[in-house]
């Protein structure tokens, strides 16, 4: 019998479970600083990544939201995109999207079965086995070639130079704001930017979001060295105006080919407005090199259908529960600014769980001004920071009387709802779940059941 909601048969579900178990055997999905396994793998597969043109996206914050906006715009122009993003929130199939929808269980399992014999052969040729992320990336390329898709919207997993996605030869490269995040990429913005700059190809058109001066210098130097053309937010394109609106915001965007007015974006926060400007510039660059203005009706239709789950996403009312995957200082600062503008809560209780390699003190300090109290919790990730360890940091920032600890996420959500109801008046209270995409994904699953 086929599930009416998902379209999956019991065999499909069993096949997906088999693949998920096999992929889990490839953990930990660490990034290895070379592309030898990945290059050999796509070569054996017949280079599926070359069967479609690509928009390649890196940066520290905003990658997935920007990728989803690019995807929505391309569909509004009648194209069939294949989108590859990471990490996922609830199910691994979210990472591979075809024409705006996550890959079905059948398509996902078929991609695995197509790729795994070649991955196992590569395993025998190198000291390290093909990693989780390398295998999944090859599966995305295979699924997109098989679909087929008209264009790949490919998000870097981590960094750029050595990321498994960097076997593509993209005509359009997008770099969202660069800041410190993963320690593996370096301890300075310049070092991180150098890793991100590795996706810039000769003769490509590079769409640069607003950057700090140290990051911009590195990225522009790389572009100059390889002969790439650069479009910079704030100079060649940008946000001309914005105002909050019910369910999102209204924008005026100046892109490479012209200005687009009264653009409704159903996402909150000035950071999403900037992501929209970057996405629009990338699509203009892809469709016509940025030389001409696109059809305004199609642009408006594309943005109107854009979404970004787990980014200021409302999943429940009374009290309002908002999910946001901010997991570094820059993301937490953007979240703090956006939640005040978009919701205007009188009382907001945070539910926060982080991974152990994050700047807990910096993230909590950014969130403190907008939270009346905080419930510290812990996700199921093996990389999760212990609730007690995170609570010790929180107490120094929030004071003990504003901090509760509930290691189980379901208990933390229940405690936060209780605090919101006790501390605020009906209609002016909210709960914000943040600190990690893993925490947000698990909360989303619990709350949407």
Give the per-residue SS3 of 174-188.
EECCCCCCCHHHCCC
The packing angle between helices 105-123 and 132-146, to 10°, is 130
Q: Tens place of pLDDT for every residue, the chain, 449 residues?
A: 455 445 578 888 899 999 999 999 887 556 678 899 999 999 999 999 999 999 999 999 999 999 999 999 999 999 999 999 999 999 999 999 999 999 999 999 999 999 999 999 999 999 999 999 999 999 999 999 999 999 999 999 998 999 999 999 999 999 999 998 776 778 899 999 999 999 999 999 999 999 999 999 999 999 999 999 999 999 999 999 999 999 999 999 999 999 999 999 999 999 999 999 999 999 999 998 888 899 999 999 999 999 999 999 999 988 999 999 999 998 999 999 999 889 989 999 999 999 998 999 999 999 999 999 999 999 999 889 999 999 999 999 998 999 999 999 999 999 999 999 888 666 689 999 999 999 999 999 999 87
| Residue 245, strand partner residues | 248
* Residue indicated by tokens 């140290």: 214
From the list 333, 100, 269, 65, the residue with the least C-alpha distance to 174 is 65
Separation CA 266–CA 42 (nearest Å)? 37
CA angle 354–358–362, rounded 5-degree value: 95
Contact (CB, 8 A) for 148 and 51: yes
Element (H, E) at 281: helix 270-288
Separation CA 45–CA 226 (nearest Å)? 28
At 313 the three-state DSSP class reads: strand
Q: Please report, for residues 255, 330, 428, the alpha-carbon distance to residue 340 in angstroms, rounded to integers and kept in the order given.
A: 28, 16, 12
Write down the pLDDT at residue 407.
Answer: 97
Write down the pLDDT at residue 290.
Answer: 84
Separation CA 405–CA 392 (nearest Å)? 10
Separation CA 324–CA 440 (nearest Å)? 7
Write down the pLDDT at residue 292.
Answer: 87
At 231 the three-state DSSP class reads: strand
pTM for this prediction: 0.94
At 136 the three-state DSSP class reads: helix
Q: Please report, for residues 10, 48, 162, 254, 281, the alpha-carbon distance to residue 173 in angstroms, rounded to integers and kept in the order given.
A: 40, 19, 16, 19, 11
Q: What is the pLDDT of residues 103-161, one digit of tens each?
A: 999 999 999 999 999 999 999 999 999 999 999 999 999 999 999 999 999 999 998 99
Write down the pLDDT at residue 125.
Answer: 96
Burial of 332 (0-12, 13-18, 19+ CB in 10 A): buried
CB atoms within 10 A of CB 221: 12
The arrangement of strands across the sheet holding 248-254 comes to 238-245, 248-254, 259-265
Separation CA 329–CA 185 (nearest Å)? 16
Contacts of 425 (CB under 8 A, 6+ apart): 346, 347
Write down the pLDDT at residue 5.
Answer: 46
Contact (CB, 8 A) for 141 and 114: no
Separation CA 373–CA 433 (nearest Å)? 12
* Residue indicated by tokens 């901010």: 326
Contacts of 233 (CB under 8 A, 6+ apart): 207, 208, 209, 210, 274, 277, 278, 281
């Amino acid at each position: 019998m086929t599930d009416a909601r998902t379209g999956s048969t019991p065999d499909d579900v069993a096949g997906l479970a088999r693949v998920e178990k096999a992929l889990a055997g490839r953990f930990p999905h660490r990034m290895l600083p070379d592309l030898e396994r990945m290059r050999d793998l796509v070569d054996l597969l017949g280079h599926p990544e070359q069967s479609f043109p690509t928009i390649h996206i890196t940066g520290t914050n905003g990658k997935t939201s920007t990728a989803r906006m690019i995807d929505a715009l391309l569909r509004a122009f009648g194209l069939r995109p294949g989108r590859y993003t990471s990490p996922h929130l609830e199910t691994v199939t979210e990472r591979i999207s075809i024409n705006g929808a996550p890959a079905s269980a059948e398509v996902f399992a078929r991609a695995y079965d197509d790729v795994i014999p070649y991955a196992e052969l590569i395993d025998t040729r190198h000291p390290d086995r093909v990693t989780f992320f390398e295998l999944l990336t090859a599966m995305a390329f295979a699924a997109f070639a098989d679909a087929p898709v008209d264009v790949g919207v490919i998000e870097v997993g981590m960094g750029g130079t050595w990321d498994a996605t960097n076997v593509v030869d993209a005509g359009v490269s997008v770099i969202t704001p660069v800041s410190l995040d993963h320690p593996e990429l370096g301890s300075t913005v310049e070092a991180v930017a150098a890793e991100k700059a590795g996706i810039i190809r000769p003769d490509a058109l590079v769409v640069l979001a607003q950057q700090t001066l140290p990051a911009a210098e590195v990225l522009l130097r790389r572009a100059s060295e390889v002969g790439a053309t650069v479009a910079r937010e704030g100079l060649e394109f940008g946000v001309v105006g914005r105002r909050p609106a019910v369910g999102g915001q209204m924008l005026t965007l100046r892109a490479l080919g012209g200005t687009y007015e009264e653009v409704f974006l159903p996402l909150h926060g000035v950071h999403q407005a900037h992501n929209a400007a970057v996405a629009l510039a990338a699509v203009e660059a892809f469709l016509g090199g940025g030389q001409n203005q696109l059809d305004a009706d199609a642009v408006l239709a594309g943005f109107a259908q854009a979404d970004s789950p787990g980014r200021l996403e409302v999943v429940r009312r009374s009290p309002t529960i908002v999910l946001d995957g901010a997991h570094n200082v820059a993301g937490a600062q953007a979240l703090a600014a956006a939640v005040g503008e978009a919701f205007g809560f009188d009382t907001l209780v945070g539910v926060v769980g982080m991974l152990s390699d994050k700047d807990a003190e910096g993230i909590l300090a950014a969130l403190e001004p907008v939270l009346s109290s905080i419930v510290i919790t812990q996700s199921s990730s093996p990389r999760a920071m212990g609730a007690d360890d995170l609570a010790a940091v929180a107490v120094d920032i929030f004071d003990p009387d504003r901090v509760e600890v509930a290691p189980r996420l379901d208990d933390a959500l229940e405690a936060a709802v209780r605090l919101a109801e006790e501390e605020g008046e009906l209609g002016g209270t909210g709960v914000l779940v943040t600190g990690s995409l893993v925490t947000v994904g698990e909360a989303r699953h619990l709350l949407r059941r």
